[in-house]
Amino acid sequence: MSEVIDIIKNESLTYQQQLLSLARYGENTEGPFLQTEEIKTAISKGIICDLGEGHAPYRPRYIIPDYRILMEKGCQFLELDPPQDLQEACNSLLILYKHVPSITSFPVYLGSLDELLEPFVQKVSREEAKKTLKLFLLHIDKTLTDSFVHANLGPKDSLTGRLILELTEQMQLAIPNLTLKYDPDLTSDEFAKLCIQCMLKTSKPSFGNHRMLKKEWGEDYVFASCYNGLKLAGGGYTLPRLRMYECALEASSIEDFKTRVLPYYANLMLQFMDRRIRFIVEESQFFKANFLVKEGFVKQENFTGMFGMVGLAECCNHLLGIQDSKKGFGNNQKADDLGVEIMEQLEAIVKAHHGLYCEGCHHQYGLHAQVGIDSDGRENSPGARIPIGAEPEMMLHILHSCRYHQYFPTGIGDIFKFEETWKNTPEALLDIIKGALANGMRYFTGYLADCDVVRVTGYLVKKSEIEKLDRGEATLNQVTLYGQGARNSGHALDRRIEKHESTHQ
């Protein structure tokens, strides 16, 4: 009971955060019955991590409703008729959001807001639309208090999209996260530059590679949570992860790592995923009774398992005996080539496995470059990223990233921190983004060094809110705690600052 008492006494938690913490404690009290002895050993060594999903998962980790159904048919369970105007559309969405579960207990996907709301926005004046959308976004920020909450824009320009960008700049809110589905053939340069100006000032929207995701998932895909690529009307059942650095510690050589260690732990984690997914589908009530399933907002066959990993950089550096991260992965051809070899092998292992209950995803689980958690410290950089403090100049950094983004259909992204002068030349940054995505980058995001709203590893927090937490005060966004931990243990806010002149050298 000491953990329960600690939660109850913690003055830095709001009531809602206490409630969720107590619920997670309860979810873990059943015991690890989904784990074999081999899995338990791997977890105890820190090689496999379940990312806090609990011992008895009672809903998929990430749920991606098709909100178009709400616009077209309403919702029987919630007794909502199809909306007839902008206020009704926003109100219906806000009601449905409160009933969409996830690992965080908040919806990780709010829809393509411009596509959903544009027909209604077009029926009212610009001033009225902006006022209604401002209240809509404010409601989201104050009630869905977790910045893994994510919405999409684009790929096409729209009045709704422009209004959301205006309001995002003005309101400086960390919630919701935003991604632009970017395609140079569909997204006008004018709209893209507006998105860049907003991104630099608020860390959003990020630029997602629409062409790449559409090719992999089809037209109906989304960006959710941090930067997860998932199927619309589906989602992700589970996201455990391999800590690649800890894997490397088990190997006596590079050859031993490739032939024994990596295949063993990768297949062990696939077994772990199978056990969790079978329990969610066959034992829990979600797919049997939840109204989201019954009314077609989600379909079980559109879900997949997400095979997460962190620490590729430290894994490669350790296997090669590189002590200084500035001379290793991201700055060393041998380390970079080894990283590609490891990813090719890991991809082959995951693709060869028959994924359970993911018929709409080719019966396969998808690799995911997980953003890391505060307890990882500096031994496991997020996904396949270059360690903070070892980043080369931006062009080299982008070319390095492009080698790895192809392996992660369920999500990978890179973050760049810019000096103030970049906001004066959005067209220059747009050229860079175009080149990056054309060369295989899946997800590009950035922010100005002096921003209050900053992207930590994939989620957004306010530096001013972290300062409140430092003083022991409660903060509304429950992710602020993760941001504080990532700052303290992983120096996540200390990225290289990209200077404007460096791109011309």
Q: What share of the chain is helix, strand, coil (3-state, %, to 5)?
A: 50, 15, 40
Q: Which two tokens stand for residue 305?
A: 């398992």
Q: Which distant-in-sequence residues (6+ apart) come within 8 Å of 477 by Cβ? A: 145, 146, 147, 174, 175, 461, 462, 465
Q: How far is CA 184 from CA 188, 333, 424, in A?
A: 7, 31, 21
Q: Which sign does the torsion angle of CA 353, 226, 443, 246 carry?
A: negative
CA–CA gap between residue 183 and residue 160 (Å, rounded): 18
pLDDT at 504: 44
**What percent of the chain is predicted at pLDDT more than 90?**
80
Nearest to 401 by CA among 409, 410, 392: 392
Q: Which of 408, 350, 351, 412 is nearest to 381 (CA)?
A: 412
The more confidently predicted of residues 472 and 210 is 210
- How far is the CA of 356 from the CAs of 150, 185, 360, in angstroms? 27, 37, 11
pLDDT for residue 488: 82
Phi, psi (5° rounding) for residue 34? Answer: -90, 5
* Amino acid at residue number 350: V
Q: How does strand 206-209 pair with strand 177-182?
A: parallel
Query: Do residues 447 and 203 make contact, with C-beta atoms less than 8 angstroms apart?
Result: yes
Give yes or no for a contact between 402 and 432, defined as CB atoms under 8 angstroms apart: no
Number of neighbours of residue 193 by Cβ within 10 angstroms: 15
- Please report, for residues 34, 89, 291, 505, the alpha-carbon distance to residue 93 in angstroms, rounded to integers and kept in the order given: 35, 6, 15, 48
Comparing CA positions, the residue from 128, 146, 196 lying closest to residue 168 is 196
Mean pLDDT for 50-69 is: 93
- Name the 3-class secondary structure at 149: coil
Q: Please state the φ and ψ torsions of residue 482, each to the nearest 5 degrees.
A: -65, -40
**Higher-scoring residue by pLDDT: 476, 325:** 325
Which pLDDT score is estimated for 302?
98
As a whole number of Å, the end-to-end CA separation of the chain is: 60
- The tokens describing 454, both together, are 């900053």
Flag whether pLDDT at 30 surpasses 80.
Answer: no
Q: How far apart are alpha carbons 93 and 112 in whole angstroms?
A: 12
Ordered DSSP codes for 365-384: -EEEE----GGGTTSS-STT
Question: Kind and range of the H or E element at 463?
Answer: helix 463-470
pLDDT value at 261 more than 80: yes
Classify 51 as helix, strand or coil. coil
Closest CA to 232 of 136, 285, 183, 296: 296
**CA atoms of 328 and 245, how far apart (whole Å):** 14
Distance CA 100, CA 416 (A): 32
Q: Which residue has the higher pLDDT, 495 or 305?
A: 305
- 63-103 pLDDT, tens digit each: 999 999 999 999 999 999 999 999 999 999 999 999 999 99
Average pLDDT over residues 397-414: 98
Q: Report d(CA 48, CA 282) in Å as an integer.
A: 24
Whether residue 165 is predicted with pLDDT greater than 80 in this model: the reply is yes
Spell out the residues 6+ positions from residue 276 whose beta carbon is closer than 8 angstroms to its own: 34, 53, 57, 237, 238, 240
Q: What is the pLDDT of residue 485?
A: 84
Predicted TM-score (pTM) of the model is: 0.94
Strand partners, 63: 235
- pLDDT surpasses 80 at 278: yes
Residues 6+ apart with CB under 8 A from 501: none
Query: Taking residues 230-241, what's their average pLDDT?
Result: 98
Q: Is residue 501 very low, low, confident or very high in pLDDT (cuts 50, 70, 90)? A: low
Q: What DSSP line would sit under 288-341, residue for residue?
A: HH-HHHHTTSS-GGGEE-EEEEE-HHHHHHHHTT---GGGSTTS-HHHHHHHHH
Q: How far apart are CA 457 and CA 437, in angstroms?
A: 20
Q: How far, in Å, CA of 44 to CA of 257, rounded?
A: 20
Residues 36-58 as b or e (16 or more Cβ within 10 Å = b)? eeebeebbeebbbbbeebbbbbe
Q: How far apart are CA 13 and CA 75, in angstroms?
A: 34
